[in-house]
Structure 1
Amino acid sequence: MIGDVKMKSCKQIAREWNLSERTINDLCKKGKISGAIKSGRRWQIPDNAVRPVDGRVSNRRYIKKKDTCEKKSLPIGISDYVRAQSEYYYVDKTMMIKEFLDRKPLVSLFTRPRRFGKTLNMDMLRVFFEISEDDTSRYFKDKAIWKCGEEYQSHQGQYPVIFLTFKDVKFDTWEATIGKIRGLVQEEYGRHQEIIDSDKISAYEKKYFEKMLDGTANEVELTSALDKLSKMLDAYYGKAPVIIIDEYDTPIQEGYAKDFYEEIIGFMRNFFSGAFKDNKNLSFGFLTGILRIAQESIFSGLNNLTVNSVMDDEYDRYFGFTSEEVETMLGYYGVPEKKAELAEWYDGYLFGNEEIYNPWSVINYISRDCKPQAYWVNTGKNEILDDVLKNAIDDISESLYSLLQGKRVIAKIDQNVVYRSLAEDPANIYSLLLVAGYLKTPQKELQADGSYLCEVSIPNKEIAAVYKSEILSHLLQVGAITRTTANKIAESLYANDFVKLEHAIGEYIDEAISFYDAGAEGFYHGLVLGLIAMMDNQYKIKSNRESGDGRYDICMFPRGERYPGIIMELKWKKNLGKDALDKLADEALAQISDRRCDVQMARDGIKNILKIGIAFSGKSVCVESENGNISI
């Protein structure tokens, strides 16, 4: 106390202003806190001091305000809530807490694509609810949730919390996977070591606790880890804990891809059953993941589970960025004019009724001088899309290529889809692609069985880019053939060298067919569309449209005068010899002229038109044009 003024330490002020103690010391040294005095080696600050908000000093000296102010960095890869909201630009998602407390489901599962803020939101819930020696309310006092009043503030810091994130449990074997899970459980038990010496915990429970701390628990003992820890925390604190499991299905996806699916499913079923099924030592439970996985009975009998998926209106604003949040961010960083480009690349997701931007891509775009790239798709493997391509039947392959052309496809969406259901029913492809972030649903209609009948489409340019790269690499096996064939096609288009173009297409088809078992005409149609979809910078690509007196198979409208228009007619028959195959290619070529399929191009002023008839039989192909034929 100095005179009538109560003084505080730098540490106390740092907590109140949500700044570091070092920053407060620095502000005092620079004279930016009015009334601050140094007592010995420490600064004393008036209780009523005002936090500086700009470049002006507050000790009666005036310094001209700088024209530019330092902007907070964007939280790329930051999933620590305390750090994200204090050191970085933070998009306030704390109203998720209010929505949850208004509904109060016992166990909530949130399914969203990867990199959409699930881990950061779960850590936010942990910091809000968890009992702590520190006053963690300071991390929320300037957030939207605090303005909601005492009803919500009263829950802050009142619960023991068990928190596990499986986002990094990505291993090739079951042994490595269970070893990693054992390590995560060991760390979480270590966070609660304060309870081990309590007389509220029985001797056998302490022995179990020590096994977890030592990392010596076997697989069976591990399955009870959440159940037993929640019971001990309830006994110690006199309040049932909150259990948070982040990215619960990451090891399940790895198990599917690496052939230990049955082991991980069996373990998770018991692990989660103890935590969430009939657990009287539970206040609330939260889980996040990509898939619901209900068919695997991981949550068998868990009738208190509330699922919140990309199809549901609840919590639709809290994973990813809304349009308003993106506009505010662009304004803060001084690039509001980039809104249209950013939307074209990273907008387009629909969660419930809310239009959502990919948060990972948005913050990378802004932090890298607004250069549009496929940021999200380069953050990890796209196993789901790879599995889709492996299991795609003819009509689904053609639909995938139609999506690349900007079309909408009608699909049934089952939210209970699981990874291995692809082999059972390839139509589940669309459900997997939707929940994984590769599709959006502009139109949806709920069916009596709980599924949805939807129109699906590609959300934005970024996702179109990954479809292209994955489809091309898959069909051509990502080798020298991919680069060579692509280069030949690009060169032939640039030079208007039709013969070279024919050779390149023939080479592509030869290599692609040698990889797949030969199929029907729809298969070949999809195969050719897969190649030319990569050329949409040069062409507008259309298929199965009316023109003249009939319908063409594939039509490529040039975007520049240097490129020819291209019309392809495809035909297929079984067991043809070379002569019969040549004749079938001639028929395909003749059909283009007979049915005047070039009428639309001619009306558009395209004078240079390449007509190509392509005939298939098994692994043989003949490409016929007005310049001659190529048989392979």
Structure 2
Amino acid sequence: MKNCKEMAARWNVTERTISAFCKAGKIPGAVKIGKSWQIPDDAQKPADGRVQSGKYIKRTSNEYKPLPIGISDYIRAQAEYYYVDKTMMIKEFLDQKPLVSLFTRPRRFGKTLNMDMLRVFFEISDEDTCRFFTDKKIWKCGESYRSHQGKYPVIFLTFKDVKFTSWEATRDKIRSLLQEEYGRHENILSGDRLAEYEKEYFIRILDGTASEVDLSSALEKLSKMLTEYYGTAPIIIIDEYDTPIQEGYSQNFYQEIIGFMRNFFSGAFKDNRYLSYGFLTGILRIAQESIFSGLNNLTVNSVLDEEYDEYFGFTDAEVREMLQYYGALGKYQELKEWYDGYLFGKEEIYNPWSVINYIAKGYIPQAYWVNTGKNEILEDVLKNATDDITERLYALLQGERVVAKIDQNVVYRSLSEDPANIYSLLLVAGYLKAPGKELQADGSWLCEVSIPNREIAAVYKSEILSHLLQVGAITRTTANKIAESLYSNDSDRMQKAIAEYLDRSISFYDTGAEGFYHGLVLGLIALMDNQYRIKSNRESGDGRYDISLIPRTEKHPGILMELKWKNGLDEKMLERLAEEALHQMKNKRYDTEMREEGIGKILKFGIAFSGKKVKIMTE
């Protein structure tokens, strides 16, 4: 057997290419041992499937399988649709055999489909389910892996649709999910393997009369009954476990759902001798709420971990293979710019939901993923943004990297304690990536974070700016007026546009600090990022300017802004304050940075605020 480095030298390609071939199943007999691929000595070099030209050939609809938009049923997905084979996840699990595994990934990254794949592979069934895997990668790995197929009872629950506005409705939905899952195992009521009291409990779950206490013990009791019936402890799979917890936070029944889940999961996973293995998926690890208190057998796999890094989302090799199948390799670069950019562990990952929608809907690039939900995470975390965080979020919008401490155990209510946890939530939720990271002694990470791709940049423009302004969506009319007035150096028109916006959109009580006005002006001009690189609070000359707009092309002038604020000013005093701002830019040589970059024409705006009044002076 050879490693990637040795085969790369033999075939005159890069190690990354060899790794991609292995992941795509293009090298028969290649096996991943630990984190390295081992390749048979006599392996033949696969055909190179990379883009050779910009040629784009779109097949007719009857020539290829449809894409599995919204399909999370493994049997159906792999039989009727284009299926990206993720069955090597089973091998990686069986090589390590952690007792309980938690996978945290953003929504719509294939968590439910993967969990259903695990269910079908491991679950005891009356039919021969191995036929759903004989043509998959896992089946080529040998009898030691195939021997686990169809050998365990499985408890499977998905909470992805448990989204209600009250604890009562949430509890009733969980009751119905348990009712259905118990119904799947109704056969164990036959015979005399269960005690009478166990059958009575089972029937209470089935007929919907179980109390809240009964429900909280449902996983623990069913696992015991399945073990008694089959002689083998079950595998418990809980998909999107934190969805009802997120709803509890946003809908004000947080304590009720946390209290229930603590007992529910403790009975299933903590010191449960009737458990073979456990799998959970979600967006967050809810550790600080003690849901998993004392669960020492829990192995967490997050977006920062290298284990299982390629199994949620699509790899570059998988995307190329998909485009080749649909005759659309010429669309590779556009697809990459829009939907690539995530880093899970060390693996470059594409958003799978967006990729399949992009191809299925005729290769039209737009923000597909952000339209699948209400982006409650953004709404919640932005309410707690400080001035410093606001400026950093604007910097991210300009394509810059921001250094942030990432705590993977962060939960929603900790935002009020430390708003800097915003970055942790945005990272695990898929709104940021971490191209640079360093593990700290306390288990947190110090990361360089940035926006992954054009799709997420689009949601920053449409969602983040409007929330940071605290005034609803920025109208296109207002944005156009601001842009046009800046280009034409028309301070009167700019002043009028800002004043109208202030008067129409902002309560007098929202005003009252320079940081507020700073954020407001940043928001109004941030939509111009195609023409300018926007910087805030940077050193230049003998001080720190408030806002600079550095042109991306020579046809636009540079723009500097200095903001001042004071309450209770009349028109004349407000004008003097704007002049003071203008003089400060000149006296402290704030234009030094731009002039060093060779920018000849620089516009300077001194902007003064007092309540809803604004005055702009220009040079």
Asked if 1:244 corresponds to 2:244, the answer is no
Residue 549 of structure 1, CA deviation: 6.0
> Percent identical across equivalent pairs?
76
The alpha carbon displacement at 1:413 in A equals: 0.8
**Counterpart contact for 1:610–1:625, Cα < 8 Å:** no
Counterpart among 599, 613, 622 of residue 614 in structure 2: 622
Q: Counterpart in 1 of 2:351?
A: 358
Q: Is the 8 A contact 2:112 2:239 kept in 1?
A: yes
Q: Residue type of the partner of 2:453?
A: N
Residue 404 to residue 466, structure 1, CA distance change in 2 (3 Å): same
Map of 2:42 onto structure 1: none
* CA distance in 1: counterparts of 2:373 and 2:213, whole angstroms: 32
Measured at CA, do residues 305 and 481 of structure 1 come closer, stay the same or move farther in structure 2, by a change above 3 Å?
closer
What is the CA-CA distance between 1:398 and the residue it aligns to? 1.2
Equivalent in the alignment of 1:384: 377
User: What corresponds to 1:287 in structure 2?
Assistant: 280
Give 1:68 deviation, angstroms.
9.9
Are 1:161 and 1:243, in contact at CA under 8 Å, matched by a contact in 2?
Answer: yes
Aligned residue pair count: 561
Q: For 1:223, give the aligned amino acid.
A: S
Secondary structure of the residue aligned to 2:294 is coil
Question: 3-state DSSP class of the match of 1:168?
Answer: coil
State whether residues 100 and 299 of structure 2, in contact with CA within 8 Å, keep that contact through their aligned partners in structure 1.
yes
Amino acid of the structure 2 residue aligned with 1:541: I
Measure, in 2, the Cα distance between the counterparts of 1:138 and 1:199.
Answer: 33
Q: 1:467 and 1:481, CA in 2 relative to 1: closer, same or farther beyond 3 A?
A: closer
**Offset at residue 552 of structure 1 (A):** 3.3
Q: Deviations over 1:134-193 (max 9, x none)?
A: 111111111111110000000000011000000000011111111111111011011111
Q: Which amino acid aligns with 2:96?
A: R
Q: Choose 1 or 2 for highest CA Rg.
A: 1
Task: Pick 1 or 2: higher relative contact order, CA cutoff 8 A, min separation 6.
Answer: 2
- Report the CA distance shift for 1:67/1:168 in structure 2 as closer, same or farther (over 3 A): closer
Deviation, 1:231, is 0.9
Q: Per-residue deviation at 1:574?
A: 5.9
Contact kept, 8 Å, 1:348 with 1:460, in 2: the verdict is yes
Q: Distance in 1 between matches of 2:342 and 2:330?
A: 21
Deviations 1:229-266 (A, max 9, x none): 11111111111100000000000000000000000000
1:227 aligns with 2:220: yes
Structure 1 residues 509-565: Cα deviation after superposition (integer angstroms, max 9, x where no partner): 556653774465444323322221122234332334455665532222445787654
Distance 2:504 2:84 in 1: 49
Matches within 5 A, 1:370-409: 370-409=363-402
Distance change >3 Å, CA 131–CA 489, structure 1 → 2 = same
Cα shift at 1:132: 0.8
Work out whether residues 444 and 453 of structure 1, in 8 Å CA contact, stay in contact via their aligned partners in 2.
Answer: yes
Q: By how many angstroms is 1:423 displaced?
A: 0.9
Q: Which residue number in structure 2 is paired with residue 313 of structure 1?
A: 306
Of stretches 216-225 and 251-260 in structure 1, the one that deviates more from structure 2 is 216-225
1:362: how far off?
1.0
Structure 2 distance, partners of 1:571, 1:546, is 18
RMSD of equivalent CA atoms: 2.5
Match among 460, 466, 482 for residue 475 of structure 2: 482
Q: Is the contact made by 2:468 and 2:519 (CA closer than 8 Å) also made in structure 1?
A: no
Q: TM-score, normalised by structure 2?
A: 0.85
User: Take 1:298 and 1:142, find their aligned partners in 2: how far apart are those partners?
Assistant: 39
The code of the aligned residue for 2:67 comes to L
CA contact 1:496–1:563 (8 Å) conserved in 2: no
- Aligned partner (choices 134, 147, 165) of residue 172 of structure 1: 165
Distance (Å, rounded) in 2 between the aligned partners of 1:577 and 1:486: 27
- 1:567 corresponds, among 555, 560, 564, to 560
* Counterparts of 1:439 and 1:519, CA distance in 2: 32
Cα deviation, residue 389, structure 1: 1.2
Q: Does 1:256 align with 2:241?
A: no
Which of 171, 179, 186 lines up with 2:179 in the alignment?
186
Q: Which residue of 2 is the match for residue 269 of structure 1?
A: 262
- Secondary structure of the residue aligned to 1:163 is strand
State the shift of 1:96 in Å.
0.5
Using a 3 Å threshold, how does the CA distance of structure 1 residues 419 and 480 change in structure 2: closer, same or farther?
closer
Cα distance in 1 between the residues matched to 2:603 and 2:502: 18
* Contact residue 360 and residue 375 of structure 1 kept, 8 A: yes
SS in 2 for 1:311: coil
Query: Which residue of 419, 433, 450 corresponds with 2:443?
Result: 450
Contact 1:509 1:528 in 2 (8 A): no
Aligned position for 2:454: 461
Return closer, same or farther for 1:516/1:92 CA change in 2, 3 Å cut-off. Answer: farther
Q: Unpaired segments of 5 or more residues in structure 1?
A: 1-65, 628-632
Mapped to 1, the partners of 2:401 and 2:553 lie a distance apart of: 26
- Do the aligned partners of 1:567 and 1:612 also contact (CA within 8 Å) in 2? yes
Aligned-partner Cα distance in 1 for 2:413–2:61: 55
> CA-to-partner distance for each residue in 1:274-330, whole Å, 9 max, x for gaps?
111111111000000000010000011111111111111111111111111111111
What corresponds to 1:151 in structure 2?
144
CA displacement at 1:598 relative to structure 2: 4.5
3-state SS, counterpart of residue 385 of structure 1: helix
**CA separation in 2, counterparts of 1:453 and 1:438?**
17
**Alpha-carbon distance, 1:205 to partner:** 1.0
Distance 2:468 2:417 in 1: 22
* CA contact 1:614–1:622 (8 Å) conserved in 2: yes
In the alignment, the residues of structure 2 paired with residue 166 and residue 486 of structure 1 have an alpha-carbon distance, to the nearest angstrom, of: 41
8 A contact 2:499–2:612 mirrored in 1: no
